[in-house]
A and B are shown apart, each in its own frame.
Chain A
Amino acid sequence: MRYMIILKATSQPATPPATELMEAIAKLGEEATRAGVMLDNAGLAPSAQGARVELVGGKVSVTDGPFAEAKELVSYALYQVRSKEEAVEWTSRFLKVHRDHWAGWEGEADVLRVFGPEDFAAPE
């Protein structure tokens, strides 16, 4: 099963993240890669550098960032694991690393299952 984990920040401290956080994130990523479960991951630039394309009432419109939401998307990761709980465990570790190395930071991560071949299997 493949899961996409999307991390959002709800409260960012004024202080920049310590190098220890970057090191701990890199270490956890390495651990997940060594465990053979991390397929892909990347950090996301602030929405100020992005845009939003919308379809409303048959009209496609484009708005430049930043977006008004309080939550900024921070990063995504794709895991291949054997259960939702396994994806949740890796995600919890990721959030604990933030807790341990960046006081005041708060956020949330959505753990979403990605459709795979099993969802398109022929009916028998």
Chain B
Amino acid sequence: MTISDPRRAIEAVWRIESARIIAGLARMVHDVGLAEELAQDALVIALEQWPTSGVPDNPGAWLMLTAKHRAIDLLRRRTRYEQKLEVVGRDMEIRQESAEAELDDALDDHIGDDVLRLLFTACHPALSTEGRLALTLRLLGGLTTGEIARAFLVPEPTVGQRIHRAKRTLADKRVRIEMPAPAELADRLSSVLEVVYLIFNEGYSATAGDDWMRPSLCEEALRLGRVLAALMPEEAEVHGLVALMEIQASRIRTRTGPGGEPVLLLDQDRRLWDRLLIRRGLDALERVEALGTFGPYGLQAAIAACHARALSAEDTDWERMAALYRVLAHVAPSPVVELNRAVAVGMAYGPARGLEIVDGLVEERALRDYPQLPAVRGDLLEKLGRLDEAREDFERAAALTRNERERTLFLARATGTPHQR
């Protein structure tokens, strides 16, 4: 029998507990950077002590208590010089005495609130998008700088700088670690959801041969989404985003072929879709429905669910999907949404109706270099038997795409390879 490496066991505990520890410390010291340092101190002590003393029975509580003691020491030292902190210090002493009692309540209500405050702070609009992504993965995901760098295909010092800059910005702008005011909540929440979905899409865009850290970003984003859904169960868009990610993740295995080439959704082997993730996604979508409001994420999830519910491509409820795209185009208008609507309309009501919508988009500046526009148009023209025009569009799509495998796919269709469907 072999016992697992203590170092790896400690890292596992850290992964599980770090967000809660950092979040709790941030409430005590009012500084995200300092909170993280104190938490790291506790980790270092664990790495020194546990290999010889053994892993404590409740390692999470041990780390939390050790980190709290560090924070209390620090605050006391400050108190000697700063009279005004005396009150805080006394508060700390009382907390220290009750710390033991608190251990069993590691799950008590304010821990969830602490994590939520930390997440809103890491996704604060004062920070750059890159800074938000890195800080969220670091503070809420427990990822190391090196892991984040590998996931985003950038050098480690770059990520280190992004995190450093983000922490300094929070300190310079005196961003308080607190929940946004009710009037700001909707905007601030969409900033959080955007960060989570950007992390997911970064992982989703990973290609064969990439470092495994990249696709694992999908799992990390899903985990963050699930955490958020547990902490803000009344927010429909949180469940909408979780539903969308669960359903999209259910197709990760089938979206590329054996040679790494992309496989279109309708050509995927649905028997290999992950039924557990689909079920979880549909459950999350039910929660959106129960809350009664559909935002852009909820609508996209409802659209994704039309595919997930269909056991074969022929079973897809295209009418429902076309209607959902119509609502989405109203809630979050964009030429890409309109293009997707054209596909659904083409499937539901015939290629001529789809083509009408696409032709209305040809002048759209935002889609000028978008390969999917001629690709969709080519597909509709082909179905209408206008093969010469279709070929021109597929050639245009092939010229526009920067993805080598997609180019091969478009060129194959341009040369008239009959498309199975």
Contacts and interface: CB of A to CB of B under 8 A. Distances in A.
B223 A89 contact: no
Nearest to A115: B253
Interface in A14-59: 27, 30-31, 33-37, 39-40
Contacts of B88: none
Interface string B195-235: 00000000000001100100110011011111100110000
Interface string B1-22: 0001100110111011000000
A122 B71 CA distance: 48
A31 B209 CA distance: 35
Q: Which of B15, B16, B107, B260 has the most CB of A within 10 A?
A: B16
A35 B16 contact: yes
B363 interface: no
Nearest to A88: B4
Contacts, number: 78
A72 B8 CA distance: 31
Contacts of A35: 16, 223, 227
B227 A122 contact: no
A11 interface: no
B212 A118 contact: yes
Contact of B225 (A34, A36, A39): A36
B215 A124 contact: no
A85 interface: yes
Contacts of B15: 81-83, 86
A117 interface: yes
A10 to B, nearest CB: 16
A80 B231 contact: no
A83 B13 CA distance: 11
Given A27-B107, A39-B276, A121-B208, A34 B12 contact: no
Given A34-B231, A36-B224, A36-B227, A124 B209 contact: yes
B252 A39 contact: no
B153 to A, nearest CB: 15
A124 to B, nearest CB: 3
A15 to B, nearest CB: 24
A39 B231 contact: no
A83 B11 contact: yes
A96 B209 CA distance: 41
A89 B12 contact: yes
A78 B222 CA distance: 15
B280 interface: yes
Given A40-B276, A80-B219, A84-B4, A122 B12 contact: no
B60 to A, nearest CB: 9
A89 B63 CA distance: 14
B107 A85 contact: no
B216 A82 contact: yes
Given A86-B16, A88-B4, A122-B257, A36 B226 contact: yes
B216 A122 contact: no
Contacts of A34: 107, 112, 227, 230-231
B54 interface: no
Given A31-B107, A88-B12, A122-B208, A117 B215 contact: yes
Interface string B361-392: 00000000000000000000000000000000
A122 B224 contact: no
Nearest to A114: B276
Contacts of A89: 9, 12-13, 16, 59
Contacts of B191: none
Contacts of B280: 39
Nearest to A96: B57
Interface in A84-122: 84-86, 88-90, 96, 116-118, 120-122
Given A88-B12, A89-B9, A80 B4 contact: no
A122 B4 contact: no
A123 B207 CA distance: 11
B4 A85 contact: yes
B259 interface: yes
Contacts of A37: 16, 223
18 contacts: A1-B219, A34-B231, A35-B223, A36-B227, A36-B230, A37-B16, A82-B220, A83-B15, A85-B4, A85-B9, A88-B9, A90-B16, A96-B57, A121-B208, A122-B259, A122-B260, A123-B208, A124-B208
Interface of A: 1, 27, 30-31, 33-37, 39-40, 78, 80-86, 88-90, 96, 116-118, 120-124
Given A85-B12, A117-B253, A121-B208, 8 more contacts: A30-B107, A33-B230, A40-B276, A80-B222, A82-B220, A85-B5, A90-B16, A117-B215
Interface of B: 4-5, 8-9, 11-13, 15-16, 57, 59, 107, 112, 208-209, 212, 215-216, 219-220, 222-227, 230-231, 252-253, 256-260, 276, 280
